[in-house]
Structure 1
């Protein structure tokens, strides 16, 4: 048997295939040195990934315009399909099928993520009413030194800096236009 290691080095292959045989062939080419670029059809591999090969082939879901015209029906089918697994399982399946996706974390997921802890992307701030509050941090952004103010905590000061007299601020409070 001939050694195929690097047999396709320097080749760029655009993979427009679907199903099993075509993607398998281009995977083998990639294993032997080819640069393979997977080009998804408009419908992508979403039907197969959802276990519904029939959906992308149905006239009502074949093109972007068709899917838009039947959006409510398609959304109901997708919601039912996605309810069968958790988001991490779906992300793995979609990634395996080369369908662009990303899991969107809840706040709880974000704060529990080991990477968030590792890079220090969460800070805890003491709040006078609720106790410690976790705050997500943007890398490179300054850390907050204190919790957000309570409702009305700085209203009189801000209104005063805006040029209102103490009597005008008192009038706003009395009329319900400001909280102090």
Structure 2
């Protein structure tokens, strides 16, 4: 039985403090996952706020629905890091932090005095995690990058397009994949600090991460030196690989192993295909995958989705109906595992958020707070770092820190320091 983490063991990152200097999707997704795992994440924003605050129609200005999704579980402080007193405040926050995460480009970080080399001198136990567009050792290091740019550069758009025009994956797949790699790298670095007492500089570049992601299967014969053939994986690159129409819908079906194909050939009354040398081995099937995909496209319209799910499932062949994003909220399996949780936000009201899709010792992650208003927690965060009331008032009075009322949150598209990697 699944239980809430608060009723069992502390979450894995309980006690870890993260200073989050990231914007848009990639960095904020990584740090949101850390918050979901129990970390105290302090989001450092420019006075205008993260641009994602203004995407979509929310109930209040600066609290757009995507921001509510990507940044829940965090606290917010708004600092103008172009000001020396704001940068000094950030350094004092870092004194009590375990992790610093940023997706600013290297030149912007250096201009703010926030390069990993500088930070590790001042904070020798800190994990400094950078998520730039391109790695610091190459000629692209100072280029800006967003998801679309990296999809183009890493080979995915070409693979998606097949023999036709390049096509983007219709989600921010690079941002989300790099965020997951970032989460893994940061947690590994935290373990290293725990074992050695020495801080770490961790770089998780978008381009290199997505090249690794793309080539996992697409490198294929080019893993050999010299290459035994061109890059590419016939099964996933085939233009015929798609959800298949049934008599009343569409299904995702993967017939893969020898046993599964034997069962499928029997189901469609084509036992002769099991003896066909083109299809008797996985090597042959991969070389002739277009013919098999054409067979699936031909036979699936002969029955309903429900009929195919029943017979294919009984034969041990993986099959699922095609669902749209709206359908997911009514899926019975997701309901049974508690995938969506209700969160009552103090300003935005009732929210529905996907939980972290991980359990630890059978326990669901602890519930988290909703996403913060811009600068909502600035004074409290500074007080925890040892600032007295006079210092906090001075920072707010000088404009180094912004603590706006709800009505004062305004549209804006500036990133902290004027540069973003995503």
| TM-score of the aligned structures, taking structure 1 as reference length | 0.45
Which has the greater radius of gyration? 1
| TM-score of the aligned structures, taking structure 2 as reference length | 0.23
